[in-house]
Structures are given as structure tokens and as C-alpha cells.
Amino acid sequence: MERTTLRRRALVAGTATVAVGALALAGLTGVASAGPAGTTAPPVSADSLSPGLLAAMERDLGLDADDARSRIANEYRAAAVAAGLEKSLGASYAGARVSGAKAALTVATTDASQTALITEAGAKAEVVGHSLDRLEGVKEALDRVALRKAPKDVPVWYVDVEANRVVVNAASTAAGTAFLKAAGVDSALVTVARSVEKPRTFADLRGGDAYYMNGSGRCSIGFSVKRGTQNGFATAGHCGRVGTTTNGFNQQAQGTFQGSTFPGRDYAWVATNANWTPRPTVNGYGRGDVTVAGSTAAVVGASVCRSGSTTGWHCGTIQQLNTSVTYPEGTISGVTRTSVCAEPGDSGGSYISGNQAQGVTSGGSGNCSSGGTTYFQPLNPLLQAYGLTLVTSGTPTDPPTTPPTDPPTDPPGGTWAAGTAYAAGATVTYGGATYRCLQAHTAQPGWTPAAVPALWQRI
């Protein structure tokens, strides 16, 4: 199978802006630490979930509408409890996941004395040997090597919280072992698994409900966003670079890429002109659009659905968070691995769990006939990287009475400069801080050291 980044379209979503990272679920905003047993998420009503999403969950997950609503409500609750326990457990936290038809939550810890705290919060406790911080440290070491040079025949690596190990998928044991040796990591914490996957980007020039880059390639809108008074949308970084112009599905002038990161990460945002009004919806493809209420991240095992201009609605589950994947263009880290299928034309579009925005489609392998694996760039890091807010239900939809302002320019100061070719290891100053170049590149407007962690490391 070949793994690919997926180019596709989703609706510009829009009506109420939510600060990045804010919990949008009523009644859950106080869950900063493990809550008491019985902590519940708000009910998921028939009105809050689109018929198209429910139909896709029935087709792909075997859940009828009532079971789907119940599962999503349980997943909302699990996400909130897991977030609280992560803070309470501190260094002993070893990850969380949901499983089974009822999305039962399991939270792992390295400290057996913390099991009572976990069970009191309503989750199953599991004592393991390695903390999430330790495993993610191993993965970060692998990422650093891959950023310098993408590993040969090693398509994917991630932290598997259920196995309590880092998993490296490789074409051969020798390739995986060489990757571990180059990173200098403890092989006792890593499982090397054989894989025939070959990641690549998905590109498609076919028409459809999409947006087009520089009048040619096609991608998908992820979610409506705002930066101050400027409207726009989030999408995949491989869809365009800063300055790339876009036309909408109707081939009318739409906007311009203001920020884009790829490889390293796979996120971007486009500022749109006054003819495009942001909506808090995801295209339901004739089955009812889905309203976006927030961006609370789901946990491992949770259901997730994807809307794409090529394949419409498809659903699956979240398999691993913070995954790294190698495409022909380079390595991407920090994406989420899912069992959802996708095909060319689907890149950049929306991943949503219930009514909570999760991310934008990056790439994958397989197709929607035989099945596949896909990866999405989580939305909240994208919003944080570019100083954006998500447009959700509740924001006024009237178009602005004054033309949108120009997007903010890079603040002055420091030795970093757009148009300069930087070699790996070069250092610059920017905004009062010093940064080291991680990957050779020519700086573009908007690719400031603070905004592009895949290219620059603060020192």
C-alpha cells in the first residue's frame, strides 16, 4: 500500500470564534484535574449531530444512530476526564485510551499509588513501566534524526499507549534498527514492525466542491478561522506555500495562503476576500451539514469522521496520537493516525468527532474501496502556530461592513530575514530570542522562527 497526503475539500465553517484550546463543552470547563466519579459530558441530542455523520458511523463502525450518539457522549466525557488526570498524575501519566462499544476510558500510570485517583475519576487504572513523557522523548529523538534526513524504508513511527512502547514501522528489521541506532535511542523501549506502506502525497486535479491553488491543483477546506478581523480557513500545508492564490469551488477568486508549514508539520491557513463568509459547518454531502462547536481533542480509540470532496463522509477510530510519517517530500511529525479511509482530492479537509473539530487531512494509504489508514494534522497546534481562532456556532455570520485588513506582517527585529538560504545548524535571532535551523531551507514570508518549529528550534 502507498501512504499519501490527501488533497481535498471541506466547507468553510463559521459562526462563533473560540479561543485556542478552550473547552467548548458546557459543564466541562472546570475539569482541570481529575473530577469525581460520575462527571458527565452534556447529552448529545438528535439535533446536534448531522444525519450524514450518523449514517457514515453506521456504515463504517456498525453503530446505529442511538449507539453513535451514546458513544460520542462517552468519548466527550473521556476526553475531559483524561485531560484532568494528565495534569493530576504529572510525571507518572502514561497515556489514555477508550475501547469497546461504550468507549470505556483507561488511563495508565507508572505509579501504583495513583490508581485510586484514576478509578475515582471514573476510569480504569493501568500500571505500566514507562511514562508518556519518557516514550515521547524517544519519539522526539527519532523525529530529530528524520528532520535532518528522512529515514529510508521507515514510513511511520509513533507512541502506542496501549502497548506502552514506541512502534517503528519499517520495510525491514535492518532499516528500523538503523533508524534507532542513528537516533541513539534505547531499543528496549521500541518495537520494530514490518510494514509495506509507502507514503506519498495525494494530489488531484478533478473538479468538485473544492478549492484550487494557483488555478490548478485541488485541495479541501478544513475549518473556518479568524485572525483578528480577517476571515480565512485552515488546511494542509502541502496544498500551497505562502503567496499561493486560491479559487473556490465555483472557480471565483477566494484568497491567499498566509502561512504554510510542510514538511515537518502539515498545516496552513488561507486568508479569504470579502466575498466569502465563514460558516461553522462541515459539508455533509447531501445528508445535512455538521455544525462545529469547538475543538476539544479526542483520545485514542475515539470515533472520528472525515468529509472529503472525493469520497464524502467516512468514519473510523483514532489509533495513535503524535505519530510521525515519512512522505516522499519529507517527514511529518505530530499527526494523528486513524482507520478512516481517504483518496486523492481529500487533502486539507475536516476531521471531526461529534461536533468537535479535530484536524485537517494530511495523508494516508489505501483507498475507500479496500480500506486504508490516514493521518490528520491536529487543529489546535495549527491555530496556535498562526494565532488563529476557530469559527464555531454562535459567531455572527453577517459579512464585515469594512474590507478585511491585511494580514499582520512579521514583527521587525533580529537577524532572520525572508529570502535568505539557511543551512542546518545556522543560528539567527528573532523577537528577542535565538533559534537554530533544523532543516536547510530558503526562508519565505511568514516562515518566522517562532511560527515554524519544524524548521527552527529555540535555544
320 φ/ψ angles, rounded to the nearest 5 degrees = -145, 145
Helices (H), 62-121: 65-89, 115-120
238 in catalytic set: yes
Which of these, 291, 223, 296, lies nearest to 26 by C-alpha position?
296
Contacts of 130 (CB under 8 A, 6+ apart): 94, 110, 164, 165, 189
CA 263/CA 269 separation, integer angstroms: 15
How far the first Cα of the chain sits from its last, in Å, is 40
333, 347, 350, 393: the catalytic one is 347
Beta strands 2-5; 371-378: pairing state: unpaired
R_g (Cα) of the chain, nearest Å: 21
Q: Which residues have a Cβ under 8 Å from the Cβ of 439 and sit 6 or more positions away? A: 147, 148, 264, 424, 454, 455
Which residue in the list 60, 209, 266, 289 is annotated as catalytic? Answer: 266
* Cβ neighbours around 91 below 10 Å, total: 12
Q: Between β-strands 156-160 and 165-170, what pairing exists: parallel, antiparallel or unpaired?
A: antiparallel
347 has catalytic annotation: yes
C-alpha cell at 155: 514510513
Catalytic residue among 204, 209, 238, 362: 238
Task: Give Cα 281 distance to the centre of its chain.
Answer: 18
Contact by Cβ (8 Å): 50, 290: yes
**So which residues are the catalytic ones?**
238, 266, 347
